Amino acid sequence: MSTPHQPIKARSTQESLARDLAEYDDPEGSGDGGPDERDGRFQRGDNPTSDDESSSGASTVRPEETQHSMANSYRRPSFVAFGGTRPAITPQQSDPAWLTKKEKKQSRDEERSLLRDNHLAPPKHPESAKRSTISQLYRWIFSSKRPRPAEDVEAPVAPLFTAEPSETSALLGHGPEESTRSRHERLNRQWEEAVATGKIKTTWQREAKTLWRYASPLVVTFILQYSLTVASIFTVGHLGKVELGAVSLASMTANITGYAVYQGLATSLDTLCAQAYGSGKKKLVGLQLQRMVYFLWVLTIPIGLVWFFAERILQRIVPEQRSAELAGLYLRILVLGAPGYACFESGKRFVQAQGLFSATTYVLLIAAPLNAFMNWLFVWQFGWGFVGAPIAVVVTDNLLPILLFAYVYFIDGKQCWNGLTKKAFHNWGPMVKLALPGLLMVEAEFLAFEILTLASSYFSTTHLAAQSILSTLTALTFQIPFPISVAASTRVANLIGATLADAAKTSAKVAFCVACIVGLFNAVLLFTLRNHIPQLFTNDREVVELVARVLPLCVTFQLFDALAANCNGLLRGLGRQEIGGYVNLFCYYVVAMPISFGTAFGLHWNLEGLWTGVAVALGLVASIEGYFLYQTSWEKAVEDAQHRNEVG
């Protein structure tokens, strides 16, 4: 998706950084996590858009540092869900071009662990000569060690190093203590020798553990942020089907005209803030943040006008006038939370650029339960009814940046803030040019599913309410396979960048198996509870029966949904994310939309028809991308990653 815009992004980044660095006087050094302290070795050949652009931007500032770009370093997943409804096109993440101390330590630990598992280094703990049957079974299921080949058992290969070094290990028996730098250099040589001789392999147990370690916190974060949307639908739904449909209509309008705009434009900070931090000028990160916040606040004026007069606009589009009236009321109140949401979207990129990926999770651990509580309190306990839901959203939208500010001020991240400055009011041109492609991409991601919501309003209020529940449920189940795909993307990219093609293939196979399990789990869950889940959202019998009737159709594509998300993740890991972008665009806008409207309005299948097109599209996406991955040469992917690294 992002690849066609790469030259534009690179030029815009270079132009912005060149201007800022020419006029910005920052006496401090690069500091922790900056380019001068990178020494991670477990390599990565991930996203050419994010990595190569990061390299190009950094080379403008400090050419000698480009060799340390993200393409040469081990990374963990950094993408954080941005909420909203289910995207039609899997979003792409951009990673900063540097390593924190924690991540450099993770890199070295990963290398040591792989050396041990391949019997090239002594184990952490002495192995028992005799094992019980239970111990052997446990080892077979959970141990990540590779079995020794028969020839190695007869004539064991000497490990690359014979003792696990400690902080004070000496190079010679009575020589001076080995320095940390010397130990790291020795580890690098040992690792490179093992890779060069093809001795590094992996196991499905190791890859399953790694996938779990990467994906589990992401799943929590995704579900927490999506719960901000679910809480309003869940609470208001019990007021009536008109109110339930109105919330769905209002959310759709807010996503297309507001939230997607904020999210899309803020993606430029993924490059600008990371490049500013990687340049060693930490205060520039805060400057970029201020620029984006002011820019989004300016855009809030036209967005606010659209939301304020949304009732008149929707009444001309939607046949259900009462739903349009309530949706307009919801949006008028929502205007008060737009500046806070814009600030949070920018602030999220600010902390991510510093490697503080858990900051958003901690904020959501506080905000998400509070949001659910306020929805219940305002709608039911205070008796405010329908207006209580948007008020709860407004309070949450303004609370999010406050909590994030508290994290930065009291915990970590304030080293990149230098106070308010007038410089934030100029040099917007490069930022805007860099932000526009992101805006177009995010709008394309959300528009397909929002069109279905709008189309459902032409059937009846019951259908609009049922569509609200169906879209919420399918988006909620998507919050499990998508973060797993992000984790798979990162792991495969790490292994490809480390020239471990066989290990990358093993990791991809494990990811496919996990995607199948998750997809089948979602399908069984939805089908088994199809008559009970709708009752959690509404008491209206007509809506419950309609959802229960359509839900089996949504069940049919749960496996395809999980596989499609996984394929997109693996394509990102291979650096071929443009394939996924084009396939998704084609399947959703060329195939799904005509089928959905043809069956829904032409064949009068109504809601079943709208979801038929989605089911067909997901099946096509999974099939096309799966076939592409099956035909992919993993050795060629390693060569391509090496070429990108050399160019960077």
Mean pLDDT of 144-155: 57
Task: Work out the pLDDT band at 398, boundaries 50, 70, 90.
Answer: very high
d(CA 246, CA 458): 13
d(CA 509, CA 629): 11
pLDDT of residue 468: 92
pLDDT digits (tens, 9 = 90+) for 423-477: 888 888 878 887 887 787 778 777 888 888 899 999 999 999 999 999 999 999 9
Q: Please classify residue 113 by burial: count the beta carbons closer than 10 Å to its beta carbon, then call 0-12 exposed, 13-18 middle and 19+ buried.
A: middle
pLDDT of residue 52: 37
- Look up residue 544 and give its DSSP letter: H
pLDDT of residue 524: 96
Lowest mean pLDDT among 56-60, 154-158, 292-296, 553-557: 56-60
Residue given tokens 């901000």 in the structure block: 228
Task: Work out the pLDDT band at 269, boundaries 50, 70, 90.
Answer: confident
Long-range CB contacts for residues 455-461, cutoff 8 Å, separation at least 24: 455/596, 455/597, 455/600, 455/610, 456/607, 456/610, 457/245, 457/249, 457/318, 457/319, 457/320, 457/323, 458/318, 458/319, 458/601, 459/606, 459/607, 460/320, 461/241, 461/242, 461/245, 461/320, 461/322, 461/323
247 or 60, greater pLDDT: 247
Name beta bridge partners: 170: 177
| Highest mean pLDDT out of 156-170, 226-240, 348-362, 574-588 | 226-240
pLDDT of residue 210: 86
pLDDT of residue 284: 87
Mean pLDDT of 146-166: 53
645 or 38, greater pLDDT: 645
pLDDT of residue 204: 80
Residue given tokens 């005209």 in the structure block: 257
Lowest mean pLDDT among 42-46, 271-275, 476-480, 504-508: 42-46
> What's CA 164's distance to the chain center, in Å?
37
pLDDT at 82 over 50: no
pLDDT of residue 50: 37
Mean pLDDT of 560-572: 91
pLDDT of residue 127: 62
pLDDT of residue 62: 39
Lowest mean pLDDT among 9-13, 318-322, 581-585: 9-13
Nearest CA-CA partner of 248 in 236, 263, 261: 236
- The DSSP string of 143-160 is --PPPPPHHHHHSPPPPS
Task: Work out the pLDDT band at 132, boundaries 50, 70, 90.
Answer: low
Task: Work out the pLDDT band at 596, boundaries 50, 70, 90.
Answer: very high
166 or 328, greater pLDDT: 328
pLDDT of residue 183: 72
Q: In the chain, what percentage of residues exceed pLDDT 90?
A: 41
pLDDT of residue 554: 95
Mean pLDDT of 528-533: 94
d(CA 426, CA 611): 47
Average pLDDT of the residues of the chain: 79
Asked if residues 461 and 320 have their Cβ atoms less than 8 Å apart, the reply is yes
Task: Work out the pLDDT band at 181, boundaries 50, 70, 90.
Answer: confident
Q: What is the SS3 assignment for 260-299? A: HHHHHHHCHHHHHHHHHHHCCCCHHHHHHHHHHHHHHHHH
Mean pLDDT of 2-6: 41
Asked if residues 555 and 251 have their Cβ atoms less than 8 Å apart, the reply is no
Mean pLDDT of 196-201: 71
pLDDT of residue 254: 93
pLDDT of residue 126: 63
275 or 626, greater pLDDT: 626
Task: Work out the pLDDT band at 281, boundaries 50, 70, 90.
Answer: confident
Q: Please classify residue 168 by burial: count the beta carbons closer than 10 Å to its beta carbon, then call 0-12 exposed, 13-18 middle and 19+ buried.
A: exposed
Q: Write the single-letter amino acid at 154.
A: E
171 or 382, greater pLDDT: 382
d(CA 596, CA 587): 12
pLDDT of residue 2: 37
165 or 425, greater pLDDT: 425
pLDDT of residue 14: 63
pLDDT of residue 6: 45
pLDDT at 130 over 70: no
Lowest mean pLDDT among 9-13, 339-343, 497-501, 593-597: 9-13
34 or 190, greater pLDDT: 190
pLDDT of residue 89: 65
With b for 16 or more beta-carbon neighbours within 10 A and e for fewer, the 287-318 pattern comes to bbbbbbbebbeebbeebbebbeebbebbbeeb
pLDDT of residue 270: 78
Q: In the chain, what percentage of residues exceed pLDDT 70?
A: 72
Asked if residues 74 and 110 have their Cβ atoms less than 8 Å apart, the reply is yes
| Highest mean pLDDT out of 117-131, 371-385, 406-420 | 371-385
Task: Work out the pLDDT band at 587, boundaries 50, 70, 90.
Answer: very high
Q: What angle do CA 115, 117, 118 make, to 5 degrees?
A: 65
pLDDT of residue 403: 96
pLDDT of residue 47: 40
| Domain-wise residue ranges, the chain | 459-648
pLDDT of residue 531: 94
How crowded is the C-beta side of 140, counted as CA atoms within 13 Å?
Answer: 7
> What's CA 43's distance to the chain center, in Å?
21
pLDDT of residue 555: 95
Task: Work out the pLDDT band at 120, boundaries 50, 70, 90.
Answer: low
